[in-house]
Amino acid sequence: MTKTEFHILNSLYDGSRGRAVCSADIEESRALSDREAYNRLVREGLICQTGSLTAAGLEALEPYRVDNAVILAAGASTRFIPLSLEQPKGLFEVKGERLIERQIQQLQAAGIRDITLVLGYKKEMFCYLAQKYGVKFIINNSFNLKNNIESLYLAEKALKNTYVCVSDSYFVENPFHQFEYQTFNAGVSVTEKTDEMYVDTDSDGRILKMEESRSGGQILLGHAFWRKEFSNAFLALAEADRTVGRYDAFFWEWMVKDHLDILPPMYFKEYAAGNIFEFDYFEELRQFDNQYLGHTHSEIIRNIKLVFRCDEEDIVDFRNVSKGMTNTSFIFKIDGVDYIYRHPGDGTESIISRRNEKTSLIKAREIGIDPTYIYADVNEGWKISVYIPEFREPEYSSFEDSKRVIAVLKRLHSSGVQVDYGMKPWEDALDMESLLLRKDPNCFALYASLKEKIGRLYARTLGDGVEKCFCHGDTYKPNWMLLPDGGVILIDWEYAGFSDPGIDVGYYIVDAMYGFDEAERFIREYLGDSFTEGKLFHFMAYTAIIAYYWFVWALYRESCGAVMGQALEDWKAMAVKYADYLLE
C-alpha cells in the first residue's frame, strides 16, 4: 500500500468513528485530494461506492495498527521557572485544560487506550490520572541525573508500535490515529532560528540529517511514532550507552541524530504552523494563553507581586539560575531592575530556621556585608534579593582573593552583633544523624571511626579561649561576590548565627581543599597579631569538624532526594584528612 492510499483509508476509518480530518496534517490533506488513488482503492474493493471503508479496507489497515502510547513526564522543566517549581509542566492548565489530560483525551479519542506515563519529578501529583483515565505509570528515579533516554529505556516493555509523546505538547487539532504508516517525528517549517532540532529530508520525507541552530527550515516538534523495529533498535542503543553515559544529558532525538545511518528509517511528518505547541519558557505560555498575564495561579508569582505591590504582568524576563546545593533560584525583572528569588529545597525545613535566617539577613545588611537583601518569608523559606550582574567568585588559588575574603570575615566577626542562635556543627551533625537513623538504622555503621575522631577533636577545642561571634556558616566561594570596584559581598545567610569563627575559616579551607601549609597560611592571615599555636590548632580542628558537618548534611540531603555528587566525597575526605593529621 502506498502512503497516499494509506492516508485515504485511514481518514475514512476515522470518519466512520465520527472523527474529523486533522486539517493541519499537510501530508494527509495532500493525499485526500488525490482522486486517482481514491478511485483505484474503490476498484480494488477497499472502498465501497458509497464512500465508506469495506471489510477488505479495514483488513488492509490492520498491519499499521498503533499498539499504545508512552508519554514522557519525568523531567523537572527547569527552563520553565518559576511555575515548574510548584508543579510539573504537564499539569499546567492551558486554555482551561491541563496539558497532559488534553493529550490523554486526544489519544483515547483516536482509539489508543493503552497509555503509559513515565514519571519522576513530583510524581505524586500525577497519581489521580490512573483512576480518571486508566493510565499506567513507570517511575524514573534518575530524572534529575539523566535526560529522557533513561525514561524510554525504563519503558522498554511498552515500546512497540508506539506513540512517543511529551507531556507538555499542546495540539490544537487531534493529530493521533488508530493506524500509522511509518516511523516519524512530527514537526513544522519555520523561517526563524529556534532551540529545536532541524532536519534535512529526501523527497519522500525520510530524515537524512539532524542539526541544531539554523536560521530556518524543518524542525521537530510534538509527538513521534515508532514502529516496532525502530523501538527495538533504539533500545539496543540505549542499553549500550548505559555503561558509557554519553547521552545521559541529552534528549532522545540526539541519539537518533547520531545513528541515522544504522537505525531503521525515520520520516518527517509536517503539520501546518499553529497546530503544535511546546512551551519551553514561561513567557511563551503567556503569549499563547493570556490568562497567565493577569492570574497565573502561582504562589511564587503572588509572593513577588505582594512584595513589590505590582501587577503580575509587570513581572517579566524569568531566567533560571543553576540549582544550588540547598535551594533553587531564578532571576526576574520589574521596571527594568533584576531581582533573584530563592525557592527552598525539599527537606531544608528540618535543618534551617527561616526566622533565624531572616534576622541574620537584616543584621548583615545593617553592617554592610550583604546589601542585596529585600525580603524573606519565615514560614515558607523563600527570599528575594537584588540581583548583582557583575561580579566574580574568589579563586582559591589566589592569596590576594583570600585576603579580600579574610578582611570581610574579620569585619563580620568583630561586628559585635549578638543573636541567640547559631551553628553548633558537632551537635548539629549528631541531630542530622538521628534523622538519618530513623530512615535507616544502619546508615552510619561505616562512619563510626570518623565520628569518634571528630568528637575527640571537638572536645579539645572546648574552653581554649576562642570566643564565639556572629558568623556566616557557609563560606564556600559561590557565596562570595568580588565586585569590579573592589567591594566584596557575602550572600546566603541560612546557616548564620552566633557561633565559633572556626566554622567560617574552616569551611573556606574545606571547599578549597587546601593542604596543611595552605590552610596554615590562610589561618595566619586571619589571626594576624593574635596568632598562637593553640589558635592554629583550634582553626585546623574546626576545618575537620565543619567538613564532617557538611558530609553528614550531604547524607541527609541525599536521603531527601537531592544529588550531592562529588561534594559529599570531598567533605568526607577533608574531614578524614584533617582529623588524622591533628590527632596523629
Please report whether residue 289 resides in a domain: no
Is the backbone of residue 295 left (phi > 0), alpha (psi -120 to 50) or beta?
A: beta
Backbone angles phi, psi at 8, to 5 degrees: -65, -50
What's the confidence (pLDDT) of residue 325?
52
In this structure, the answer to whether residues 156 and 196 fall within a common structural domain is yes
Of 15, 42, 64, the residue at which a domain comes to its end is 64
Residue 343: pLDDT above 90?
A: no
| 43-47, 260-264, 442-446, range with the lowest pLDDT | 442-446
pLDDT band at 239 (very low <50, low <70, confident <90, very high): very high
Percent of the chain, pLDDT > 70? 97
In this structure, the answer to whether residues 508 and 562 fall within a common structural domain is yes
- What b-and-e string marks burial along 21-58, b requiring 16 or more CB atoms within 10 Å of the CB? bbebbbbbeebbeeeebbebbeeeebbeeeeebbeebe
| 5-14, 377-386, 508-517, 554-563, range with the lowest pLDDT | 554-563
In this structure, the answer to whether residues 120 and 267 fall within a common structural domain is yes
pLDDT band at 95 (very low <50, low <70, confident <90, very high): confident
- Distance between first and last Cα of the chain: 82
Higher pLDDT: 406 or 322? It is 406
Q: pLDDT tens-digit profile of 512-550?
A: 999 999 999 999 999 999 999 999 999 999 999 999 999
Say whether 471 sits in a helix, a strand or coil: strand
The tally of domains found in the chain comes to 4
What is the Cα–Cα distance from 84 to 90, expressed in whole angstroms?
Answer: 9
Please report whether residue 444 resides in a domain: yes
Please report whether residue 542 resides in a domain: yes
Please report whether residue 392 resides in a domain: no
What's the confidence (pLDDT) of residue 576?
97
**Which whole-number Å values give the CA distances from 275 to 125, 165, 190, 332, 371, in the listed order?**
28, 15, 13, 30, 48
Region 422-441 average pLDDT: 92
In this structure, the answer to whether residues 326 and 444 fall within a common structural domain is no
- What CATH number should be reported for the domain holding residue 547? 3.90.1200.10
Of 229, 246, 278, the residue at which a domain comes to its end is 278
Q: pLDDT tens-digit profile of 152-172?
A: 999 999 999 999 999 999 999
pLDDT band at 98 (very low <50, low <70, confident <90, very high): very high
The three cell numbers locating residue 248: 545521559
Region 493-516 average pLDDT: 96
Residue 406: pLDDT above 60?
A: yes
What's the confidence (pLDDT) of residue 297?
74
What's the confidence (pLDDT) of residue 291?
72
Are 514 and 477 in contact, with CB atoms under 8 Å apart?
no
Tell me whether the omega of the peptide bond preceding residue 501 falls within 30 degrees of 0, making it cis.
no
What's the confidence (pLDDT) of residue 344?
81
- What CATH number should be reported for the domain holding residue 174? 3.90.550.10
Residue 121: pLDDT above 70?
A: yes
Residue 349: pLDDT above 70?
A: no
Residue 323: pLDDT above 60?
A: no
In this structure, the answer to whether residues 555 and 488 fall within a common structural domain is yes
Of 38, 64, 90, the residue at which a domain comes to its end is 64
**Which whole-number Å values give the CA distances from 441 to 273, 329, 347, 435, 438, in the listed order?**
58, 34, 19, 10, 6
Region 420-441 average pLDDT: 92
What's the confidence (pLDDT) of residue 348?
57
Residue 20: pLDDT above 90?
A: no
In this structure, the answer to whether residues 139 and 256 fall within a common structural domain is yes
What is the Cα–Cα distance from 181 to 61, expressed in whole angstroms?
Answer: 9
What's the confidence (pLDDT) of residue 373?
95
Percent of the chain, pLDDT > 90? 76
In this structure, the answer to whether residues 216 and 83 fall within a common structural domain is yes
In this structure, the answer to whether residues 245 and 342 fall within a common structural domain is no
In this structure, the answer to whether residues 15 and 149 fall within a common structural domain is no
Please report whether residue 288 resides in a domain: no
In this structure, the answer to whether residues 268 and 155 fall within a common structural domain is yes
Residue 232: pLDDT above 90?
A: yes
| 10-19, 284-293, 408-417, 427-436, range with the lowest pLDDT | 284-293
Please report whether residue 285 resides in a domain: no
Higher pLDDT: 310 or 347? It is 310
Please report whether residue 394 resides in a domain: no
Residue of 226, 242, 253, 259 whose CA lies nearest to 158: 226
Please report whether residue 488 resides in a domain: yes
Average pLDDT value over all residues in the chain: 92
In this structure, the answer to whether residues 73 and 59 fall within a common structural domain is no
What's the confidence (pLDDT) of residue 210?
96
What's the confidence (pLDDT) of residue 307?
95
Domain that holds residue 229: 68-278
Residue 122: pLDDT above 60?
A: yes
- What CATH number should be reported for the domain holding residue 342? 3.30.200.20
Q: pLDDT tens-digit profile of 472-487?
A: 999 999 999 999 999 9
What's the confidence (pLDDT) of residue 322?
64
In this structure, the answer to whether residues 213 and 265 fall within a common structural domain is yes
Give the sign of the dihedral formed by CA 35, CA 38, CA 42, CA 48: negative
